Amino acid sequence: MTTSAPVQTKEGALILDSHKLRWHYDRVEEWEAGERIAPVSVDMALTRACGAMCEFCYAIVQESQERSNIKVNHVRQLLDDFKEIGVRGVSLISDGESTISPVYVPFLEHAHELGIDVGNATNGWELPPEKMERVLPLLKWMRFTVVAGTPKAFARIMYKGSDHTQVFWRAMHHISHAVQFKRRKKLDVTLGIQMVLMPQYKDEILPFAQLGLDLGVDYAVIKHCSDDEQGSLGVNYSKYQETYDMLHQAEGMSTEQTKVIVKWDKIRDGDTAPYKRVYGPPFLLQISGSGLVAPSGQFFNTRYSKFHIGNFTEERFLDIFRSDRYWETMNYLASPYFDAKTMMGTLPIQHYINVALDRHVRRVELLRPATEPPPLHVNFL
Amino acid sequence: MVRVRPAVDLSFAEVEVPHPGEAWRVATVAERHGLVMAHLPIDVGPCVRLLKTSQSGSVIMELTQHVLAASRGKLLMRIEQAVKHYVDPAITVWLEPKGDKNALRLLRGIEVKEDGTIEKEPLT
């Protein structure tokens, strides 16, 4: 399952339904040799706040003990530490809407100065044209959460109710401006929209795909919805099968400009982790918008405090990374005391690499160094 | 530099997690609480309160004081190691979960119940 084919876009090969570990085989070898490796990628947020009210939002179940106020000096030091240890890409996704943080632009500017690739998933509501034009040149990709193709459904699922369609039109205005600006300036940034599919949203699949085409973004991707092990978000994974016909139809709408992509592997894996141990976090670390450093976003909640390693607003990330507690926590997830099937939620952000590394360790399917040219966004695992 | 002890031990990929032994499974709630409390490391006792234990081996606690992120993971790992060692290797320690503090999201009917579970009303 680990090798879904890349999607060929006008700008290069795009891998969204698999992983890119083969292009970072140096880290795989070091890890296998028992070394303390730096993450290839870090997924993080600059705040836990968000102006949206998405029904499917996993951040609902990610509250930890504290919400630290992340300041400019914190993120500058954090990025300096990333650079020093060899982090190659940072995605601003995680558990908050980073664009509303006052440190958002300074973060992007400093990462750009240091040569660290940055991508950003956002609702786009707080990216009016002037701000968009400032940040797009600093990014490798920007992906807008657009959960439905029709204004009323968008407003119902992502905001207060179906009458509040102003949020849809605001998002469309900003995304459309991003597409035009990218074309005008010939920017090296990939623009996409993403639908987080709950089975009950299936009537929105085709309008979403059409919206992607109409906007002229590079891709429109449809992914599953994660849930925690208690099922707090109420995702009914058995119902995804009922969406397959529409998902195939949506894929068939792809054009040369806009690819419609379905994350089939995650949708089909549903709520069943095919691995017992979790090996992905040393390669792809997650940091909360609260400043909390934990191996995976699925462990941000207070419940999982034994996996809380530190907070980069309280101490330097470098010290956290070099501490024994960092590696004791990573090692716990690889120990027989950790059961991925019952002790964490479904389909974490590290899912693809968890699967690939587990198959590699069990010698079911060995990872090999890549021989082909790197795909787009190679530093985002 | 290659360390004598690997950073991540890769030898347990196919090992099953342990299940609680009979002594734990047949114990009453009070007996399970007593077993856990009797084997907490002496210095961490004042920092935690035991809330729940289950037959399946999970032990739910809460911290009685704020502990920095840098210390709380280690603290709870120490507790778990002690209880695994002295009581049953299948015991796992967790804290009482916290609900979302996002004021906007709470407006749509997400309720954090007293037991820490999260309940959502269906959207209309």
Q: Using an 8 Å Cβ cutoff, are B95 and B88 in contact?
A: no
Tell me the pLDDT band of A272, cut-offs 50, 70 and 90. confident
User: Which of the residue ranges A113-122, A256-265, B23-32 would you say has the lowest mean pLDDT?
Assistant: A256-265
CA distances from A112 to A80, A137, A149, A256 (A): 11, 9, 33, 30
Taking only the tens place, the pLDDT of each residue in A294-331 is 999 989 988 999 999 999 999 999 999 999 999 999 99
| Stronger pLDDT, A78 or A230, i.e. the higher one | A78
What is the pLDDT confidence band of residue B104, given thresholds at 50, 70 and 90? low
The residue among A179, A224, A195 whose CA lies nearest residue A346 is A224
Please identify among residues 50-79 of chain B the ones whose CB lies closer than 8 Å to any CB of chain A: 63, 66-70, 72-74, 76-77
Q: Please, which pLDDT band fits residue A29 given cuts at 50, 70 and 90? A: very high
Contact across the interface for A233 and B120, Cβ inside 8 Å: yes
Instruction: Please say if the pLDDT value at position A291 is more than 70.
Output: yes
Mapped onto helix, strand or coil, the DSSP state of residue A52 is coil
Q: How is residue A66 written in tokens? A: 């504290």
Angle at the Cα of B69 from the Cα atoms of B64 and B75, rounded to 5 degrees: 60
Least confident interval from A35-44, A73-82, A271-280, B11-20? A271-280
A 63-102 near B (Cβ less than 8 A): 63-67
* Among the partner residues A54, A308, A320, nearest to B72 by beta-carbon distance: A308
Q: Looking at this protein, which amino acid is placed at residue B101?
A: K
- State the alpha helices, DSSP H only, in chain A: 25-32, 72-85, 104-114, 129-135, 151-158, 166-185, 205-215, 244-251, 264-269, 317-322, 324-333, 351-361
Share of chain A above pLDDT 70, in %: 97
- Chain A residue numbers with beta carbons less than 8 Å from the beta carbon of B99 are 63
Residues pairing with A7 in the sheet? A14
Q: Is the CB of residue A236 less than 8 Å from the CB of residue A345?
A: no
- Is residue B109 scored above 50 in pLDDT? no
Nearest by Cα to B45 from B57, B33, B37, B55: B37
Q: Highest mean pLDDT: which of A47-56, A176-185, B94-103?
A: A176-185
- Asked if the Cβ–Cβ distance from A308 to B104 is below 8 Å, we say no
Other CB atoms within 10 A of residue A360 CB: 21
User: Looking at chain B, which runs of residues are DSSP E strands?
Assistant: 48-53, 58-63, 92-95, 110-112, 118-120
Statement: residue A43 has pLDDT above 70: yes
Report CA-CA distances (Å) from A342 to A1, A79, A278, B53.
Answer: 22, 34, 12, 16
Measured in angstroms, the CA of B22 and the nearest CA of chain A are apart by: 18
Tell me, what's the pLDDT at B116? 45
Q: How far is residue A35's CA from residue A27's CA, in Å, rounded to a whole number?
A: 9
pLDDT at position B101? 65
What is the DSSP-derived secondary structure letter of residue A61?
Answer: G
E strand or H helix at A101, and its extent?
Answer: none
What is the pLDDT averaged over residues A178-198? 95
A361 touches chain B (CB under 8 A): yes
B7 touches chain A (CB under 8 A): yes
Predicted confidence (pLDDT) at residue A223 exceeds the cutoff of 50: yes
pLDDT at A268: 75
Q: What is the DSSP letter of B18?
A: P
Q: What is the pLDDT of residue A61?
A: 77
Q: Which residues contact B16 (CB under 8 A, 6 or more apart)?
A: A276, A336
Which residue does chain A place closest to B103, by CA atoms?
A: A49
B117 interfaces chain A, CB cutoff of 8 Å:
yes
Residue in chain B nearest A339 by alpha carbon:
B17
* Interface contact flag, A303 B16, Cβ < 8 Å: no
Task: State residue B102's pLDDT score.
Answer: 66
Lowest mean pLDDT among A8-22, A31-45, A100-114: A8-22
The distance from CA A316 to its chain's CA centroid, rounded to whole angstroms, is 24
In this prediction, residues B25-32 reach a mean pLDDT of 96
**What are the backbone dihedrals phi and psi of residue A210, each rounded to the nearest 5 degrees, phi first?**
-65, -40
Q: Which of residues 79-108 of B touch A (CB under 8 A)?
A: 80, 84, 89, 92-102, 104-105, 107-108
Average pLDDT over residues A125-148: 96
The ipTM value here is: 0.83
Where do we find the tokens 């890409």?
A: A89
What is this structure's pTM?
A: 0.90
Flag the least confident range among A7-21, A122-136, B49-63.
A7-21
Q: What is the spatial distance between Cα A250 and Cα A201, in angstroms, rounded to a whole number?
A: 14
Closest approach of chain B CAs to the CA of A145, in angstroms?
Answer: 16
Q: List the structure tokens of A103.
A: 């440190």
B26 near A CB under 8 A = no
Query: Is the pLDDT reported for residue B119 higher than 60?
Result: no
Asked if residue A229 has pLDDT above 90, the reply is no
The whole-number pLDDT of residue A52 equals 87
The mean pLDDT value of chain A amounts to 92
- Which pLDDT score is estimated for B114? 45
**How do the domains of chain B map onto residue ranges?**
22-95
Question: Could you report the per-residue pLDDT of B45-96, keeping only the tens digit for each?
Answer: 788 999 999 999 999 999 999 999 999 999 999 999 999 999 999 999 999 8
User: Chain A closest CA to B61's CA: distance in Å?
Assistant: 9
Q: What is the distance in angstroms between the Cα of A60 and the nearest Cα belonging to chain B? A: 5
Within B44-102, residue ranges assigned H as helices are 69-86
Average pLDDT over residues B92-110: 69
